[in-house]
Amino acid sequence: MHVASTRRLLLLALAVTANGQVDYSPYVSPLIGAEGPLPGLAFGGGDIFIGGAVPFGVVKLGIDTFEANRSLATTNGGYTPQGNVTGISMMHESGTGGCPKYGVISQMPLTTVQSPVNLLDNSTYWQKRIGNDTAKAGYFKTELTNGVTVELSGARHAGILEYSFPSEEKHVLVDVSHYLPDENGGDCTQYYVDGKIDISDDNKSYTGYGTYAGGWNLGAPYTVYFCADFDTAPTQALAFNGANASIPNLSGKSRKAADSNDRVGALFSWSNSNASSIRSRIGISFISVDKACMFKDSEVPSWQLNDTVAAAVKEWNKDVFSRIRVDTGEGANQTNLILLYSSLYFMHLMPSNRTGENPKWQSNEPSWDDFYTFWDTSRNTDSLYHLIQIEAYESQIRAIIDIWRHDGFLPDGRSGNYNGLTQGGSDADNVLADAYVKGLRGSVNWTDGYAAMVKDAEVQPSIPNKEGRGALNDWLQYEYVTVNRNERCLSRTVEYSLNDFALSQVARGESPADVSKYLNRSAGWQLTWDHDVKSVNTTPVFTGFLTPRLSNGQFNSSGYNPALCGGCEWSSITYEATPFEYSFVIPHDMQTLIQFMGGVAEFEARLDYIFLPNTSQQDLGANGAGINTIINIGNEPDFQTPYLYHYINKQWKSVNQSRALARQFFKNAPYGVPGNSDAGTLNSWLVWQMLGIYPVVTQPVYLIGSPWFSDINMTVNGNRTLRILASGLGEESYFVQGVKLNGVQWDKNWFEHKDIMVEGGRIEFVLGDKIVVWEKGDVPPSPGHVELGNGTMGK
Ligand SMILES: *[C@@H]1O[C@H](CO)[C@@H](O)[C@H](O)[C@H]1NC(C)=O
Ligand SMILES: *[C@@H]1O[C@H](CO)[C@@H](O)[C@H](O)[C@H]1NC(C)=O
Ligand SMILES: *[C@@H]1O[C@H](CO)[C@@H](O)[C@H](O)[C@H]1NC(C)=O
Ligand SMILES: *[C@@H]1O[C@H](CO)[C@@H](O)[C@H](O)[C@H]1NC(C)=O
Ligand SMILES: *[C@@H]1O[C@H](CO)[C@@H](O)[C@H](O)[C@H]1NC(C)=O
Ligand SMILES: *[C@@H]1O[C@H](CO)[C@@H](O)[C@H](O)[C@H]1NC(C)=O
Ligand SMILES: *[C@@H]1O[C@H](CO)[C@@H](O)[C@H](O)[C@H]1NC(C)=O
Ligand SMILES: *[C@@H]1O[C@H](CO)[C@@H](O)[C@H](O)[C@H]1NC(C)=O
Ligand SMILES: *[C@@H]1O[C@H](CO)[C@@H](O)[C@H](O)[C@H]1NC(C)=O
Ligand SMILES: *[C@@H]1O[C@H](CO)[C@@H](O)[C@H](O)[C@H]1NC(C)=O
Ligand SMILES: *[C@@H]1O[C@H](CO)[C@@H](O)[C@H](O)[C@H]1NC(C)=O
Ligand SMILES: *[C@@H]1O[C@H](CO)[C@@H](O)[C@H](O)[C@H]1NC(C)=O
């Protein structure tokens, strides 16, 4: 196994920096999620990026690998535990599924270029690794079988590499045509479009650009300019070009691709150098070579790798880790510290702040990219940004509204400056509504924000899965998505319902005349609920489920088993969760849902059932992460489901179920998250769990859970402090006995944003090992409550 032990002793447990700030970086284990259930393979794991990066950085510098078993190859983050290194590149995603994206602007250290090495065929020079990799916040180190040790660190638009060569012969290959391929050759695989490279007269630096397209979001071509230099002048530096696996034409100082089959690159060699180490700095830009050079020089001003590492660590501490401060003293539970700070790390690797780097239009608005995807992050990641990253969050919201202004639609996913893909609803609507109802105004142009949402709600996109709502034709005509005219009919119906609820919430302030229209449309899910359908192969039997419905109004319920989805793929009736699971995902109208499920007792029994072992009937393969319950915390639709006991005032059950899931599936280990981390979405779920609160997105509402630390200071709303205290916390002592908010005994199991998140304040928990039904007040609200009555047909 190549993955370094993440259980190593933390010698720096009490590390305090010179200015008295706590250094939380020793608690970051960037390898959590590196593996899936099969030891040594990334397959079924977090698909995470591992390497040098700063929070929301454009650059994520890390190794790209090729895995031997193509059918299990999972190279989305570039890194795999045992794959052969094909290059070390500047840009990566973290946690994404589908085809890899990026893995561009690379170098590769070689100790020979003699035959059989062919610079146009990475399989002739790729390298296994020796021993265990070392990964920390802002730092990565690996050793290749050719004896070269690679160390690296990343800044915002630049990075630094240090190669320690074992012998006299030293080469660095720059392959402009390098990118992360989809090893299975899927439809969404990336491809190289164009490239250019120029070497300076003194051989010490090179500049150019590469153009690439495709990847998980089926993106249009995008161009990245680069500017790099070496600390030691190469004695030889030659550009090359040629077709894949052909004999390269190696000569001269410049090359421009003749066409997309013409790969270009350069080979740098050192023969007279006594130095065993060669360092290189690389800057990238979406605008120009000059900007790439400027980033390199200003962001990596020193040839000492540790200086860039120190700057990155400082930034992580200042802008991320110190926003949630818990006790790191001797008595602290090290595992929980690692889970907390590593989770915070992973949820800040994406999106990328590309302000000033938008090649597509001129604007005074900020620019952000690498939204993967609002389908994932809208569930709870963006809501956490609202609390601890208000500046970045507002900036992101302005950026996506600007994307609507210039590209026509808000993104659901976006990468390489291109919208795509949409898996369910137009979930940026939920993010905007969540921000709006919690009072975020700042410099956001909400007139435009609402107009962008209306576009999602009213205009059918010409490419169905790119942006907007691909099944809007059905939604506008029937108020549900039909099974005969569209894919993912049930999951899209559920999501469009919440999207329209989101519109109704923003309409309250921006366009009051629209409120009732969108509120009514938010009840569309009720039209695809068959009150007579029964569960199959379950004890007890449950009645009433989301059920595929035809455009003629008939339910397609013959032989229907709501515990099956037919793979939960793009073409299935539901996406990444079964109808059984989606039947719980109506956060805006839990009141109607509970009634539809047969009332409080039936609802509770059904909820209890989905947590029982061996209840899952659908084989989800790698996506199932070995989970055998109906509830699958590895997939986003179920994120809020463990907390639904709140809606029947049994908060203790929410605490128990959610904590059990967290303990079972989230670990300080390479296989430490249950499936793709989805840009840190799984990680942010865990952060909320550890804080003891959970957001109800599109409402200014938080459900009260049970914290994992006895004292938490959170910086909220920019400069306010929310302190969360818990007395009586212990391994088995986590049931809430009582809660105070700002000194007031609280009898509801939820509170509102304005109660404590605007000015900060104090939540005081008393915990114990006894189950207590402590809440007596109103259950959490159902502001989207609409009574359509039974038998109401779509228009
Ligand atoms: C690599 O890590 C594994 C797992 O922690 C450990 O068993 C092994 O000894 C380490 N190998 C080396 C060479 O350090
Ligand atoms: C990985 O590279 C090594 C050389 O370092 C080679 O022997 C091995 O065959 C490669 N693995 C695969 C899967 O091609
Ligand atoms: C790849 O993995 C699959 C699934 O585990 C296995 O059936 C197959 O034999 C493996 N192929 C190779 C070449 O190891
Ligand atoms: C490396 O070589 C393999 C095998 O020829 C090829 O499929 C892949 O696209 C190449 N590039 C990378 C970055 O893996
Ligand atoms: C730069 O590289 C060229 C081509 O390999 C070589 O002829 C020349 O001597 C090198 N210049 C220096 C200053 O080393
Ligand atoms: C980096 O290492 C050099 C040489 O060991 C040392 O002088 C310098 O202080 C270090 N910088 C930092 C930020 O640790
Ligand atoms: C939280 O802040 C309070 C008030 O400044 C301080 O006394 C306490 O030690 C802090 N707790 C932690 C864990 O940082
Ligand atoms: C730390 O907390 C975890 C639960 O996250 C628990 O399993 C473990 O036993 C605790 N460790 C110690 C040393 O108390
Ligand atoms: C985004 O990047 C720009 C340009 O680098 C910077 O000025 C701005 O502060 C960044 N925004 C955030 C929220 O970090
Ligand atoms: C919002 O943007 C629109 C143009 O897209 C502009 O007409 C309007 O004045 C802006 N509103 C505010 C409050 O800035
Ligand atoms: C927080 O920042 C706001 C806006 O800059 C300022 O008005 C307020 O006084 C600050 N509050 C504290 C507690 O520092
Ligand atoms: C809808 O039908 C269900 C089951 O047939 C019934 O329990 C419920 O009371 C009905 N609701 C309305 C509003 O008629």
Q: Cβ–Cβ contacts within 10 Å for residue 302, how many?
A: 12
Domain 345-702 sits in CATH at 1.20.1610.10
CA dist., res. 243 & res. 246, Å (int)? 5
Query: Which SS3 state, helix, strand or coil, does residue 291 take?
Result: helix
**What pLDDT digit, counting tens, does each position of 290-318 carry?**
999 999 999 999 999 999 999 999 999 99
Per residue in 609-657, pLDDT (tens digit) is 999 999 999 987 766 667 899 999 999 999 999 999 999 999 999 999 9
Atom of ligand 2 nearest to the CA of 66: 13
Instruction: Convert the pLDDT of each residue in 538-595 to its tens digit.
Output: 999 999 999 999 999 999 999 999 999 999 999 999 999 999 999 999 999 999 999 9
User: From atom 6 of ligand 9, which residue's Cα is the shortest distance away?
Assistant: 355
Bridge partners of residue 159, in order along the sequence: 154, 282
Q: Which residues line ligand 6 (CB under 6 A)?
A: 304, 306-307, 310
Pocket-forming residues, ligand 9, beta carbon under 6 Å: 353, 355-356, 391-392, 395
The residues facing 190 across adjacent strands are: none
Closest alpha carbon to 229 in 156, 139, 143, 292? 292
Query: From the alpha carbon of 708, which atom of ligand 8 is closest?
Result: 5
Q: 758 or 16, which is more confident?
A: 758
Question: Looking at ligand 9, which residue's alpha carbon is closest to its atom 13?
Answer: 392
333 lines ligand 10 (CB under 6 A): no
Residue identifier of the C-alpha nearest atom 11 of ligand 9: 392
Amino acid 176: pLDDT = 98
Output the pLDDT for position 418. Answer: 98
Residue 603 zone, left/alpha/beta (φ > 0; ψ -120 to 50; rest): alpha
Residue 335 beta carbon below 6 angstroms from any ligand 8 atom:
yes
Which ligand 10 atom is the nearest neighbour of the CA of 447?
1
The CA distance from 780 to 188, in Å, is: 42
Position in ligand 11 atom list of the atom nearest CA 720: 13
Across the beta sheet with 750-752, the strand order is: 693-696, 701-704, 750-752
Q: For the chain, give the mean pLDDT.
A: 95
CA of 134 to the centre of ligand 3 (A): 28
Residue 569, φ and ψ in degrees, nearest 5? -100, -175
Residues 6+ apart with CB under 8 A from 615: 538, 563, 609, 628, 629, 630
pLDDT at 11 over 60: no
Map 299-353 to HEC letters: HCCCCCHHHHHHHHHHHHHHHCHHHEEECCCCCCCHHHHHHHHHHHHHCCCCCEE
Nearest CA to ligand 11 atom 7: 719
Pick from 393, 507, 530: nearest CA to 449: 507
Q: At what angle do helices 651-665 and 681-691 cross, to 10 degrees?
A: 130
Q: What integer is the mean pLDDT of 162-179?
A: 96
Q: Using a 6 Å cutoff on CB, does residue 333 contact ligand 8?
A: yes
**57-61, 269-273, 318-322, 383-387: segment of lowest average pLDDT:** 269-273
- Ligand 2 atom closest to the Cα of residue 67 is 13
Task: Pick the more confident residue, 364 or 19.
Answer: 364
- Encode pLDDT of 340-394 as tens digits: 999 999 999 999 999 999 999 999 999 999 999 999 999 999 999 999 999 999 9
Q: Based on C-alpha coordinates, what's the Rg of the chain?
A: 26
The alpha carbon of 127 and the centre of ligand 2 are apart by a number of angstroms equal to: 6
Residue 273, pLDDT above cutoff 80: no
One-letter identity of residue 119: L
86 CB within 6 A, ligand 4: yes
* CB proximity list for 19: less than 8 A, separation 6 or greater: none
Mean pLDDT of 251-280: 94
pLDDT value at position 272?
A: 72
> How far is it, in rounded angstroms, from Cα 576 to Cα 593?
21
Label the pairing between strands 720-727 and 761-768: parallel
Residue 753 amino acid letter:
H
CA dihedral 231, 233, 235, 240 (to 10 degrees): 80
Query: Average pLDDT for residues 439-448, to the nearest whole number?
Result: 98
First to last CA, the chain: 59
User: Which protein residue has the closest C-alpha to ligand 3 atom 5?
Assistant: 72
Nearest-CA residue for atom 13 of ligand 12: 789
Atom of ligand 9 nearest to the CA of 156: 5
**Ligand 6 centroid – CA 306 distance (Å):** 6
Determine whether the shortest distance from the Cβ of 718 to ligand 11 is under 6 A: yes
The full 3-state SS of 463-488, as one line of letters, equals: CCCCCCCCCHHHHHHHCCCCCCCCCC
**Residue 74 DSSP SS3:** coil
Cα separation, 37 vs 617, in Å, equals 20
Q: From the CA of 713, give the closest atom in ligand 7.
A: 1
One-character DSSP codes across 204-264: SEEEEEEEEEETTTTEEEEEEEEEEEESS--SEEEEEEESTTS--EE-SSEEE-SSTT-EE
314 within ligand 2 shell (Cβ under 6 A): no
Ligand 1 atom 6 nearest Cα: 5
The hierarchical CATH code for the domain 2-319 is 2.70.98.10
Tokens of 289: 């070579």
Task: Tell me the Ramachandran region of residue 524: left when phi exceeds 0, alpha when psi lies from -120 to 50, beta otherwise.
Answer: alpha
Residue 15: the pLDDT is 53
Q: What number is the average pLDDT over the span 27-43?
A: 96
Give the pLDDT band (50/70/90) at residue 795.
very low
Neighbours of 260 (CB within 10 A): 15
Domain boundaries, the chain: 2-319, 345-702
10 pLDDT band, cuts 50/70/90, is: very low
71 three-class SS: helix
Q: What is the pLDDT of residue 63?
A: 98
Which amino acid residue places its CA nearest to atom 9 of ligand 11?
A: 719
For residue 3, the model assigns a pLDDT of 34
Distance from residue 328's CA to the centre of ligand 7 (Å): 12
Predicted local distance difference test score (pLDDT) of residue 483: 98
Question: Which residue reads 């535990």 in tokens?
Answer: 81
Q: What is the largest CA-CA distance in the chain?
A: 85
User: What number is the average pLDDT over the span 434-457?
Assistant: 98
